[in-house]
C-alpha cells in the first residue's frame, strides 16, 4: 500500500506562553514540526498532510517549499476531528500514518516497524510503558493480552488508571477503514471531543487485527506542552546526537556538552572537545581535532585539521592539515588549501587561500585571492568595501605582506613580491620587488605633552 502521512499540528500551546505557535517552537535550532516532517519524509510517503489551526499562516509560511498538503482545522474539536480534515485528500487504497507535530523524537525505524504491522485489513498503534502514565490514554487489553480499546485519562476508572501502558496516539491504519470509523465518532466524553483513539474499539468490533508496537524508548513518544518539557526534549536530543557521533567513531571529551544541530559525517579518530556547536551540514575528515567552544556551520574540514578554541567557521571548506585559531573566524565563501594557518584574531570572508599560506595574527582578509606559500603579516587588512562596491585583492604565490598593511582593493600583489611594514598599497606591487609607502620619520624639537592643571588633577 502507498503511504500517506498525516501530521496533527493545530494545537495552540497556551502553556508555552509564547506568540509563536507550539509546533514552531525551536528544538535544536529547528521547529518542532520540522523534525516531524523530516522523520516522515525519511519513510518516502506518497503524500504528506499537515493539519494546522492556531497561527495557521505563520505555520504554513515556515514550510513554503516542503510539498505539504495543508488541511485547516478551524475549531479544535479533538484528534479524531483533526484527522477528518485531511482525509478528503487521502485515497482509499493508501495506508495512513498519523503523527503529531509536537512529538519530534520519534525514530524512522520505529515508524517502519509500525507500518510493516499494518495492511489492508490490519492496523497498528504505538504504545509506551511508563512508570507513571498520568496524562496518557490507557491501553486496555483482555485476559489474553489482546487490545480492546483506549481509555482517556479523564474517562478512566480507578482500575484503568493503574495501567502503565500508555497510548502514544501514533497509528497506522488503512484509509478506507479509517474514513468509515471517523464517520462514526461521537463526542460523548468528559472533554466533549472526537477522540481518534475510539477507532481502536471500532476496529476490534469489526474484527480487524490491531497490533500494538511498544516504543523502544519513552523519549520517542514524548510531546511538548511547555518550556520545561521543551528543554527536557532538547537535552534528550543532544544526548541522542552525541551517541550517534560516538557510534560513528568520534571521541567526545564530554558527551553532555556538545550540541549537534547538523547532519554530521565524521572520519576516523576525530576528537571533539567540550561546548562545541555543529549546525547545518558538517563533514569532518580523519584525525580532525576540534577545540572547546568552537562553532561549525555548513563546513567541510579536511583530514588532520586542528580547530583551536573559540573559533567560528561557517559555509567554508578547509583542505587537509589546516590550523585554525584560537579566536579565528572563517566566514561564508572561504576556501582554504592544504596546510593553511589562520591564527588568533584573524577573519576571512569570501577568501580563497592557497596551500601553505599563513595569516597568523590580527588580520582581516575579505574578498581576497591568496596564492600558495604567502605570509600575511600581523595587522593586515584588505580594504575591500568602498561603501557601495566590494572589490578583490589578489596576492600571488610566494608574496610576503609586511605587518600593518592596508591593501586597498582592487589591487594585485605580484608573485614573490614583498610589501613593507606599515604600508598602504593602492597600486600593483610588482613581482619579486619590495613595495612600500612610508612617511619620513620626524622628531619635533621643543614639543611638550599637554599637562593637566592643578584643578583638573584634583577632580
The answer as to whether 449 is a domain residue is no
* 356 and 294 assigned to the same domain: yes
pLDDT digits (tens, 9 = 90+) for 192-234: 999 998 999 999 999 999 999 999 999 999 999 999 999 999 9
Q: Within 13 A of 81's CA, how many CA atoms are on the CB side?
A: 16
Phi-psi region of 363 (alpha: psi -120 to 50; beta: other; left: phi over 0): beta
The answer as to whether 446 is a domain residue is no
Give pLDDT, residue 189: 84
* 45 and 185 assigned to the same domain: yes
How confident is the model over 371-380, as a mean pLDDT?
98
* 239 and 376 assigned to the same domain: yes
* 257 and 160 assigned to the same domain: no
Give pLDDT, residue 146: 87
Q: Within 13 A of 50's CA, how many CA atoms are on the CB side?
A: 28
The answer as to whether 404 is a domain residue is yes
How confident is the model over 345-362, as a mean pLDDT?
98
* 117 and 255 assigned to the same domain: no
Percentage of the residues of the chain whose pLDDT score is greater than 70: 100
* 242 and 207 assigned to the same domain: no
User: In this structure, what CATH number is given to the domain that contains residue 326?
Assistant: 2.160.10.10
Give pLDDT, residue 353: 98
Q: Within 13 A of 72's CA, how many CA atoms are on the CB side?
A: 8
Which pTM value belongs to this model? 0.87
Task: Assess whether pLDDT exceeds 80 at residue 66.
Answer: no
* 202 and 244 assigned to the same domain: no
* 259 and 318 assigned to the same domain: yes
* 113 and 232 assigned to the same domain: no
The answer as to whether 77 is a domain residue is yes
Contact 259, 273 (CB under 8 A): no
Residue identified by cell 598599497 is: 425
- The whole domain housing 312 covers 227-435
Domain boundary among 221, 236, 252: 221
Give pLDDT, residue 308: 98
The answer as to whether 456 is a domain residue is no
CA distance 110 to 303: 35
Residue-wise burial string across 302-337, b where 16 or more C-beta atoms lie within 10 A, e elsewhere: bbbbbbbbbbbbbbbbbbbbbbbbbbbbbbebbbbb
Q: Pick the catalytic residue from 49, 54, 341, 361.
A: 361
User: In this structure, what CATH number is given to the domain that contains residue 146?
Assistant: 3.90.550.10
The answer as to whether 447 is a domain residue is no
The answer as to whether 444 is a domain residue is no
Mean pLDDT for the chain?
Answer: 95
pLDDT digits (tens, 9 = 90+) for 379-436: 999 999 999 999 999 999 999 999 999 999 999 999 999 999 999 999 999 999 999 9
Residue identified by cell 523524537 is: 105
Phi and psi at residue 47, in whole multiples of 5°? -150, 155
The answer as to whether 440 is a domain residue is no
Number of domains in the chain: 2
pLDDT digits (tens, 9 = 90+) for 82-107: 999 999 999 999 999 999 999 999 99
Give pLDDT, residue 433: 98
* 256 and 304 assigned to the same domain: yes
Does residue 361 have an active-site annotation?
yes
* 370 and 387 assigned to the same domain: yes
* 158 and 249 assigned to the same domain: no
Amino acid at each position: 500500500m502507498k503511504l500517506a502521512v498525516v501530521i496533527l499540528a493545530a494545537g495552540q500551546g497556551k502553556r508555552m506562553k509564547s506568540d509563536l505557535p507550539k509546533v514552531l517552537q525551536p528544538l535544536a535550532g529547528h521547529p518542532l514540526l520540522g523534525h516531524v516532517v523530516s522523520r516522515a519524509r525519511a519513510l518516502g510517503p506518497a503524500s504528506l498532510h499537515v493539519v494546522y489551526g492556531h497561527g495557521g499562516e505563520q505555520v504554513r509560511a515556515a514550510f513554503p517549499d516542503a510539498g505539504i498538503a495543508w488541511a485547516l482545522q478551524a475549531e479544535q474539536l479533538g484528534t479524531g476531528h483533526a484527522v477528518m480534515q485531511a482525509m478528503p485528500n487521502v485515497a482509499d487504497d493508501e495506508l495512513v500514518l498519523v503523527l503529531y507535530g509536537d512529538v519530534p523524537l520519534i525514530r524512522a525505524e520505529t515508524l517502519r516497524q509500525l507500518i510493516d504491522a499494518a495492511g489492508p485489513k490490519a492496523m497498528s498503534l504505538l504504545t509506551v510503558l511508563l512508570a507513571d502514565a498520568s496524562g496518557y490514554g490507557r491501553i486496555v487489553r483482555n485476559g489474553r493480552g489482546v487490545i480492546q480499546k483506549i481509555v482517556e485519562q479523564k474517562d478512566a476508572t480507578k482500575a484503568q488508571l493503574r495501567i502503565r501502558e500508555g497510548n502514544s496516539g501514533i497509528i497506522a491504519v488503512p484509509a478506507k477503514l479509517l474514513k468509515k470509523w471517523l464517520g462514526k465518532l461521537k463526542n460523548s466524553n468528559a472533554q466533549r471531543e472526537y477522540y481518534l483513539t475510539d477507532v481502536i474499539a471500532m476496529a476490534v468490533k469489526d474484527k480487524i487485527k490491531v497490533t500494538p508496537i511498544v516504543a523502544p524508548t519513552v523519549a520517542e513518544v514524548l510531546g511538548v506542552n511547555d518550556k520545561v518539557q521543551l528543554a527536557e526534549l532538547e537535552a534528550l536530543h543532544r544526548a541522542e546526537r552525541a551517541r550517534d557521533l560516538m557510534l560513528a567513531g568520534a571521541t567526545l571529551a564530554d558527551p553532555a556538552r556538545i550540541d549537534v544541530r547538523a547532519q554530521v559525517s565524521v572520519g576516523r579518530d576525530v576528537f571533539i572537545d567540550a561546548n562545541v556547536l555543529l549546525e547545518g551540514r558538517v563533514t569532518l575528515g580523519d584525525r580532525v581535532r576540534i577545540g572547546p567552544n568552537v562553532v561549525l556551520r555548513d563546513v567541510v574540514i579536511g583530514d588532520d585539521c586542528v580547530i583551536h578554541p573559540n573559533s567560528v567557521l561557517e559555509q567554508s571548506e578547509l583542505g587537509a592539515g589546516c590550523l585554525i585559531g584560537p579566536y579565528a573566524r572563517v566566514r561564508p565563501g572561504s576556501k582554504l588549501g592544504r596546510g593553511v594557518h589562520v591564527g588568533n584574531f584573524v577573519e576571512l570572508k569570501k577568501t580563497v587561500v592557497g596551500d601553505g599560506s599563513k595569516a597568523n595574527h590580527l588580520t582581516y582578509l575579505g574578498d581576497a585571492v591568496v596564492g600558495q606559500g604567502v605570509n600575511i603579516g600581523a595587522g593586515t587588512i584588505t580594504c575591500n568595501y568602498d561603501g557601495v562596491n566590494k572589490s578583490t585583492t589578489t596576492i600571488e604565490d610566494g608574496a610576503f605582506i609586511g605587518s600593518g598593511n592596508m591593501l586597498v582593493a582592487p589591487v594585485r600583489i605580484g608573485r614573490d613580491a614583498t610589501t613593507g611594514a606599515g604600508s598602504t598599497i593602492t597600486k600593483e606591487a610588482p613581482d619579486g620587488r619590495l613595495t612600500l609607502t612610508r612617511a619620513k620619520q620626524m622628531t619635533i624639537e621643543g614639543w611638550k605633552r599637554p599637562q593637566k592643571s592643578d584643578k583638573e588633577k584634583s577632580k
